[in-house]
């Protein structure tokens, strides 16, 4: 029996089910917590075009991952809609046997004009990032002068194209946008869209999460529950990242992603592919595995499949769980890689 047929789960028994594909390392926004202008400034060397995987290369890898058990694909970045004709890639991915779900995470800047084409190509769902409805707060965060109203238009366009329910990701950072939690909840209650609050992740220069800037999921839930009664909803599937709640009055659902205070490494079935073809087995993995080299060097599908299966079988990552426990000094790398492999 070939190695790929036996090595399906990692060292902690986690199968590979989801593949996050970063299609570009570029973004128009300079969100202070993700691609801060002082790092990603005018002189920052983004990947040259020839170093990006082509759509054909991405589809080939996705097909191989599907053969290993991947069922869900998520396109991310950078800002994925900066990649021209992204709907062409979606169509290629939608044709792969075994892929049941294709989603996109976007800042929404280019979504309104693309939503119909993406849906027609086979995109099923979209997650739009929006950290505040208050332009002063939102623009200070995105550092690109982009108003919240344009993101709301994009969300409406996505819903109009049938990419529902639209998920809205709000990263909450203490002292920056926590005052936006209740207005965001009020706005999206009853809209059919699902607002998800994400704990701000900052490893800074230590090996432990810095909690100073984190508004915890528990605080967020208690704040919202104090305003509108809510109750927990069972996870839709094993390993679901968001903990879900519903408003008791029937106004819909919210989610909290407690990456820092309740890490979900145990159920993590996600592999991540960077725009230049590096495979990461964790958002915070210290190193990736080059797939572009063998891909362009003439490796067969079977050879690539075996290589990926072995990488996955050796996977030990549980970064967030370990960071929640320890605070030894060590250089962190969260901020840079977030923008490369898609948050
Ligand atoms: N450009 C797209 C977007 O804005 O959604 C996709 C890439 S972005 C890196 C993916 C998600 O990661 C966004 O929802 C973003 O808010 C989140 N993210 C980025 N940095 C983060 C951080 N330090 N802590 C928590 N979430 C973060």
* Tens-digit pLDDT profile for residues 184-233: 999 999 999 999 999 999 865 555 677 889 999 999 999 999 999 999 99
The band of 340, judged by pLDDT with boundaries at 50, 70 and 90, is: low
In this structure, are residues 188 and 168 in contact, taking their beta carbons and an 8 Å threshold?
yes
- 274 CB within 6 A, ligand 1: no
The single-letter DSSP state of residue 82 is G
Give the lowest-confidence range in 104-113, 146-155, 223-232, 328-337: 328-337
- CA distance to 19, 184, 190, 207, per residue, from 223 (Å): 34, 12, 18, 30
Say what the pLDDT of residue 318 is. Answer: 84
Encode burial over 34-56: b for 16+ CB neighbours within 10 A, e otherwise: bbeeeebeeeeeeeeeeebbebe
pLDDT digits (tens, 9 = 90+) for 159-169: 999 999 999 99
Query: Going by CA atoms, what residue is nearest to atom 27 of ligand 1?
Result: 343
Q: What is the mean pLDDT of residues 144-157?
A: 98
> DSSP secondary structure string, 261-286?
TS--GGG--EEEE-TTSEEESSTT-S
Percent over 70 (pLDDT), the chain:
90
Say what the pLDDT of residue 3 is. Answer: 53
pTM: 0.93
- CA distance to 156, 176, 288, per residue, from 111 (Å): 10, 26, 30
Q: Give residue 107 CA to ligand 1 midpoint distance, Å.
A: 9
Neighbours of 93 (CB within 10 A): 23
Say what the pLDDT of residue 2 is. Answer: 53
Mean of the per-residue pLDDT values of the chain: 91
The band of 112, judged by pLDDT with boundaries at 50, 70 and 90, is: very high
Query: Going by CA atoms, what residue is nearest to atom 22 of ligand 1?
Result: 201
Q: Give residue 20 CA to ligand 1 midpoint distance, Å.
A: 13
Ligand 1, closest atom to CA 202?
23
Q: Give residue 214 CA to ligand 1 midpoint distance, Å.
A: 15
Ligand 1, closest atom to CA 34?
20
Q: Give residue 21 CA to ligand 1 midpoint distance, Å.
A: 14
With a cut of 80, say whether residue 67 has pLDDT above it.
Answer: yes
CA distance 101 to 123: 8
With a cut of 70, say whether residue 333 has pLDDT above it.
Answer: no
Query: Which among 129, 216, 264 is the best mutation to test ligand 1's pocket, defined by most ligand atoms within 8 Å of the CB?
Result: 129
Q: What is the mean pLDDT of residues 65-78?
A: 97
Query: Going by CA atoms, what residue is nearest to atom 19 of ligand 1?
Result: 34
With a cut of 80, say whether residue 171 has pLDDT above it.
Answer: yes
- Give the contacts of 237 (CB within 8 A, at least 6 positions apart): none
Say what the pLDDT of residue 206 is. Answer: 55
- 34 CB within 6 A, ligand 1: yes
Say what the pLDDT of residue 6 is. Answer: 47
Q: Give residue 78 CA to ligand 1 midpoint distance, Å.
A: 9
With a cut of 90, say whether residue 7 has pLDDT above it.
Answer: no
- Give the contacts of 298 (CB within 8 A, at least 6 positions apart): none
With a cut of 50, say whether residue 101 has pLDDT above it.
Answer: yes
- 280 CB within 6 A, ligand 1: no
pLDDT digits (tens, 9 = 90+) for 275-325: 999 999 998 887 899 999 999 999 999 999 999 999 999 998 887 877 665
Say what the pLDDT of residue 285 is. Answer: 83
- 35 CB within 6 A, ligand 1: no
Ligand 1, closest atom to CA 343?
12
Say what the pLDDT of residue 330 is. Answer: 38
| Tokens at 61, concatenated | 């890898």
pLDDT digits (tens, 9 = 90+) for 221-274: 999 999 999 999 998 887 788 999 999 999 999 999 998 998 888 889 999 999
Query: Going by CA atoms, what residue is nearest to atom 17 of ligand 1?
Result: 343
- 288 CB within 6 A, ligand 1: no
In this structure, are residues 280 and 264 in contact, taking their beta carbons and an 8 Å threshold?
no
- 241 CB within 6 A, ligand 1: no
The band of 343, judged by pLDDT with boundaries at 50, 70 and 90, is: low
Ligand 1, closest atom to CA 169?
14
């Amino acid at each position: 029996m070939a190695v790929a047929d036996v090595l399906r789960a990692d060292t902690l028994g986690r199968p590979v089910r989801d593949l996050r594909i970063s299609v570009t390392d570029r973004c128009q926004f300079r969100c202070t917590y993700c691609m801060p202008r002082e790092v990603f400034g005018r002189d920052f060397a983004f990947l040259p075009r020839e170093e990006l995987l082509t759509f054909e290369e991405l589809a080939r890898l996705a097909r191989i991952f599907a053969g290993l058990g991947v069922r869900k694909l998520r396109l991310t970045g950078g800002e994925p809609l900066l990649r021209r004709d992204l709907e062409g890639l979606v169509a290629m991915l939608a044709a792969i046997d075994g892929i049941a779900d294709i989603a996109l995470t976007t800042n929404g800047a280019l979504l309104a004009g693309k939503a119909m084409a993406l849906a027609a190509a086979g995109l099923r769902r979209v997650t739009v990032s929006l950290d505040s409805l208050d332009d002063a707060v939102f623009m200070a965060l995105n550092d690109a002068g982009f108003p919240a109203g344009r993101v709301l238009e994009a969300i409406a366009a996505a819903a109009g194209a049938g990419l529902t329910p639209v998920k809205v990701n709000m990263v909450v950072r203490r002292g920056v946008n926590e005052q936006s939690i209740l207005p965001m909840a009020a706005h999206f209650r009853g809209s059919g869209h699902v607002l998800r609050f994400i704990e701000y992740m900052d490893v800074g220069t230590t090996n432990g999460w810095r909690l100073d800037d984190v508004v915890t999921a528990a605080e967020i839930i208690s704040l919202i529950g104090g305003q509108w009664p809510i109750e927990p909803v069972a996870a839709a599937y094993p390993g679901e990242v968001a903990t879900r709640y519903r408003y008791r009055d029937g106004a819909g659902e919210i989610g909290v992603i407690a990456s820092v205070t309740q890490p979900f490494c145990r159920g993590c079935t996600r592999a991540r592919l960077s725009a230049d073809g590096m495979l990461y087995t964790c958002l915070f993995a210290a190193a990736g595995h080059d797939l572009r080299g063998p891909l362009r060097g003439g490796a067969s599908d079977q050879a690539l499949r075996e290589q990926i299966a072995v990488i996955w079988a050796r996977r030990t990552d549980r970064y967030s769980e370990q960071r929640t426990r320890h605070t030894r000094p060590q250089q962190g790398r969260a901020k840079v890689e977030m923008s490369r492999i898609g948050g």
